[in-house]
Every structure is written in C-alpha cells, then in structure tokens.
Structure 1
Amino acid sequence: MPSVLPDGEPMPEDGALPRHALDGSGQRPLGFYLHVPYCATRCGYCDFNTYTASELRGSGGALASRDNYAETVAEEIRLARKVLGDDPRPVETVFVGGGTPTLLPAADLGRMIAAIRDEFGLAEDAEVTTEANPESVDPRYLEELRAAGFNRVSFGMQSARQHVLKILDRTHTPGRPEACVAEARAAGFEHVNLDLIYGTPGESDDDWRASLDAVLGAAPDHVSAYALIVEEGTQLARRIRRGEVPMTDDDAHADRYLIAEETLSAAGFSWYEVSNWATSEAGRCRHNELYWRGADWWGAGPGAHSHVGGVRWWNVKHPGAYAQALSEGRSPGAGREVLSEEDRRVERILLELRLEEGCPLALLKPAGAAAAARALADGLLRAEAYEQGRAALTLRGRLLADAVVRDLVD
C-alpha cells in the first residue's frame, strides 16, 4: 500500500460510481482488500501507508485508534454495499494486509470478515488471507483466526539471517517464521505463504541460499520473493545515501533470482507470476491473481486502492481522516480516475505479461507486435506460447521483464 497517492478527479461524497462500471460485472470476480495501517515499529525499507503508536499520538485522537478500527472498516464495507447496489456477486477473495494486521485481536479481523459475509456473502470456496508478523502471533491466535474464517496466512519472513533482518529493521528472530508455518498447519491452515526479500545490503549469495533452505524446511505451499526496492524517503535510503550501507546492484538481484528459481523449482514449486511460486494450482494466491487479471476489488482502509469496471479510486491516507469521513456518512475516497480503453490495454500488458501464461498478442499494436517478434528471437519470449497467440516470458525474459514490457506497450 504505497504511501503516496496519485492525482485524480474528486471522489463523490456518496462514493457513487459511473453507471458503466458495473456493466458485465457478472463475468468478473469480486474481491476485498482490507488495509490495517498499524505497526509496532517502522521497518527501514518500508514505504507503505503505516503508522506506529507514537506517530498517531496527537494526530487524529480517538479516531485514529486501533481499538475501534474493525467497526470503522465494517462501515466502509456497508458503504460498498450501497455503492454496488444489487450487484449479486459473492466475494471470492479477501486479503487483509498492512501494516501488521495481527496487531489487532483475531476477533477484530474476524469482525471485518463477518461484515463482508453479511453484506455480500462469501463464495463457498472463498480464499480469505491475512498477512502476519511472525512475532505477533502464537498457536492460540492462529486457531482464533482459523475459527474466524481465515484459510490462508502469509508470514513476513524476509530472511533467515540475523544481520540481514537487522538491516531491514525486522524485529522477529530467525527461525520464528518457520515455526509459524508449523503452528498455522496445526491450527488448520491448508495454505501458508512465506515472504522473502533478496538484495538487502550486506546479503551474500550464501545468505540467500540459507533463507531459501529455511523456507523449504518449513514446507509452506507458497513463496513470494521480491527484490528489495529502496524507496526515497525511507530510513534505508538515507543510510545508503550517507554511505553507511552499500547499495545492491542489478547483477546481484539477477543472480539471487536465478538461485531462487533453481532452488524452488527443484523442490517442487512452480512459478506462476514473476515473484511468486506455489506447489500446486490450489496453492496460488487467488487474490493477487485477481489484481493481475484486472478483476474487481474494493479496498477498505486508509490509503487503500479499489478498482471496479475500469474505475480506480483511493482512500485518504491518515486513519483519523479516514474514520472521520465514515463517521460523517461520507466516502473516504480521496480521488479517482476513469480508465480509458487505452489505459486498460496498457495495464493488461503490464500485469498479464508477469504471469506464466503471459498476455494475448492481440493486445499489441504494430510497434509492440514487432517488439514481441524481436523478443522471441532474443529468447525473451517462449516459442510455444507465441505460436498460440500469447507473449509469455522465458526465464531470461523474467530477468528483463520491465524492459520487455516497455517495448510491448508501444
């Protein structure tokens, strides 16, 4: 959840959408993202819309408190029901992210899910996920989450090496995320993800291999591995600028990615998106697939983004301002944009090319089609997919995905 909101047109106070936004909605899945903006401490690399207790003290008062946060989010869910009217779709995926959602009592997270169930209904096979900090949960908490309707949990592991965690300002101890996987399994969670970050200053190839080995020892059914992006304005960016820690170069990122692909594929994981691997199709994160395929989702919470039928909007960032708007019967939306057909075409290429099956060649204009032919000749696109009318990345293409996308959207 980025901390900087885009520009856009004003959001109507009642949150109403253009009529065309729900045209054809029956053919698109509907999901919910619930943002919990609270953290115990701020990680040095984090640029998300999050707040520690000290940052909220005196800025928004009781309205910014996490004590009544679940009810505030439930109020936005009820607003969503009004805005979407008689839309009959049940919710297929829910993802609770942050921040650290598990700083809230499990019962509060359950109340948010109950509000979605009451207002929209959950599909029989709905995927309901929460992110979790390894140090913020224990076996009883995980059992309460499972009883509240969660069936997937994602733990922020980042690394198995203490010195790497220290650079990232992560507070959990090595070994705790792996223990969490076992506790989640015991609580009845069938699907468990571990998040990793590679390319942290001071991390070696051996450190990265140790993290991957620790993941495999824990036996989750899903792994996300992201290259560290140093965002301006973060503590880590300031430390790098002062020369306190070295910046990791692109070659090291590429090497770590190749190590991840080799290690995970040998252990039975298959990539299905550039940064995500699963042991089976059932283990994939269906909520993220909903984003990548341009379906509909409502984002509730401060700074949360939503998309329905080519209309994208985003909420005010501060928890106090967010709660104030809802308490006054207003949409917490800060702005929105109505995507043009060209916008949607470009976004489909940007997002779908990252998927294992790739994007349809029919989306490409002549310049993009010519670029795709060159990418095929250069070994960046898979020949069998190209013959079937799709642009799909090879392993080398995944390393150069951003450059390939730039060429194909022309």
Structure 2
Amino acid sequence: MAVIRPFKAIRPVKEFVDKIAALPYDVMNSEEAREMVKDNPYSFLHVDKAEVDLPLDVDVYDEKVYAKAKENLDKMIDAGLYMEDEKPNYYIYRQVMKGRSQTGFVACASIDDYSNNIIKKHELTREDKEIDRINHLYNCEAHTGPIFLTYREDKNISNIVNEWIKKEPIYDFKAEDGVAHTIWIIDDEDTVNKLQELFKSVKYLYIADGHHRTASAAKVGHIKRAEKDSYTGEEEFNFFLSISYPDSELEVLDYNRTVKDLNGLSTEEFFKKIEEKFEVIESDEQVKPKEKHTFGMYLEKQWYLLKAKSGIFNPEDPVDRLDVSILQNNLLRPILGIDNPRKSKRIKFIGGIRGLNELEKRANTDMKVSFSMYPTTTEDIMAIADSGEIMPPKSTWFEPKPRSGLFIHKF
C-alpha cells in the first residue's frame, strides 16, 4: 500500500502564479536560466537555480548557491507572494500541451515507501546530482519541485477527479511555452478522507521522472531523523512533494540519439555491418518510427528505416526488448563503439519534443549520424521496475513537465 498523503501547501497568490511558475531546474543550464529570469524577478528559478543571482564565477555547487536559494525563498514568502493553506488538502493539477492533457494528484509520498521499494525505480542515480539536491533541500527546509510519479489507474479515484474538475479552479493560466496549467484544491474533508481510503488500494507508485530528487528527498528525511532524539514518522520530513498520475494520463515521448562519427568506418563498411542485424530501407521522407523495434536513421542527408531482425533480442526480457537496448546492444556499442552512453562524449540525446529537424541539423553540422526512436511506453517502465531491473540511460522523455514553484512543502 503506497502512501499518497494530503498536505498544507504553501502556494503562490493568484496574481503572481504565472510569473512564479518555472520549468524544472534540470531542463536548462545556468546560462539559459539567467536569460529566463532577467526580466522576471518573480521566477522560481531564483530559488531552484539560485546561482542566477550570484556572480558568474561562483560554482553552481558552492555553498553560497544553497544559502541564496534559502534567502530567495524566504523573501518570496515574506513579501506576500505565497500563502499557506490552513489544513491538509489534495490538489489536482492538469496541464494541456498541443491539445493533449495530463491530470494528476499533488500530494506527499513517503520516504519509507521509497526505501521499501513501494515507490519503484527504473534508473540509476549519480552521486554528484544527489548531493546537489540534498544541499538544496536541506538548506531550504522545503521541497520546491514535485516528483513525477505514476500508478495503475483506479477508476474510483478517476471518477472523483472527473467530477471535481467541473468546479472552479484556484489557478488557470498559460505559460510562455503555450502549455496551459489548471489547478483545483480538494479541501472538502469528506472527499479528502474518501480519497485517502481509495489511495490505500494503490499498491505501488513508479518514478516516471525525478529519480535524483526522490533519492535526495529520502536521504534528507533520514538526515532529519538522525538529528532527532526520537521521531514518530508523522513529521513532515518523512514525506516529500509529488504529483501522482494514473498511467492512462501519461504519454512518453521518444528520446533520440545523434553520434559524432562512424567510429573509423567508411559509409559502405558501416552499412554492411548494420545490415547484419537490421533490415535497411531507404526513405524519401523523415522517419518517425510507428511501431516497436523499428528505428529511423539519418546519414549524409538521407533517411532510412531500420527494422530489427528476429533473434537479436530476447522478447521475454523487459530490458533487452526495449528499443533503446536493441539499438545500444546491436549498433551503438558493437558498431559505433559507444560502450557507455552515460559517459561517452561522442553521443548526444535529443528529446522528442525538439522534433526530427533537430536530428537532421545535428547530423549535418557537429555530428554525423542520427537515430529516431519509437517511444518507450508506461507499461515498459512499470514492467522493468516490477522486475527490479534498470532501464538504459535516456530511455524516456515526458512532456509536459510539471512546473516548479506552484507548491512548496515545508518540513
């Protein structure tokens, strides 16, 4: 049984919500963040990427950055840009991008559920990224960006959501990227209690996006426990901010690849090698794969459709049958020499939101060959997490991404 617990949100006052709401800290670098905030003193990036308010020569992991984040957060609250709800509530958060919506519950999840694998993972984390978020959370004493979770849909919960979103929202705005954000507060005590009971039937939660933030939140919770002579388990540091989406609401986008060179091979040698594992079909148009185990390849201003031949992967293995695994194990590693895509400087990953034109652009300029992918599915993610396996790097890309700064969970 997973814990999805209501909480007292600290949230923006209505007139500033569209100015405060910001993209997650990890989708842009510091230079891009500085550009985003230069005309917006209210942007939550002043908290999530506080280096934007420090000199350029200050390292992004310097203690000054985390102190500045705390200072900026306190200033925003003290200035009246935020309000705190009087009692624990659930919140419904809907985003609409290009006509497609995704709707989830903003609530708190349990660090014990994370430790006990009730919140299931499918990615490895890096220590340096964990330390960064640990320092940020610990200094701010707050969760400032929600973890993106999913669960197998419960129709009874969805029915309540469908009825509740007929009510007046507390926020309704469109961000600068065209994505619409609408939020409702479930502050009726009977409905909150009913949802708490219904959520007890949710057996597992799955991290869709935010493995580093989840690991960091859990570690900060354990640090706080160690600082106490005793704790009950009900303290707010035992829980972290999350948005839980039923699996039916999510769409995973493709996460494409582009490679610097052909690993010393001539074009003719390269084709000869890939034809051992893939059927290669020349295309007169851009290739966006329409089914699993097919790939687009763009090389020397020409698109090709690649179809994986039978026998090159295990269809019973949830990791081996992933398209990202098939490409890595049968082309990127043995032919192009990309042994470790996490560390190789010869490969770049392009989120599907940027389109196939970006793959062409890169292959025509600073790279050599690009590959378009069929998206990993939510079912794939759950199957791999349930089996205790780890997905290859850069397997999933989710859009739209929940905005930070809309909810703060103080602990």
Q: Normalization by structure 2: what TM-score?
A: 0.27
Greater relative CO (CA pairs within 8 A, separation 6+): 2
More helix per residue: 1
Q: Normalization by structure 1: what TM-score?
A: 0.27
More strand per residue: 2
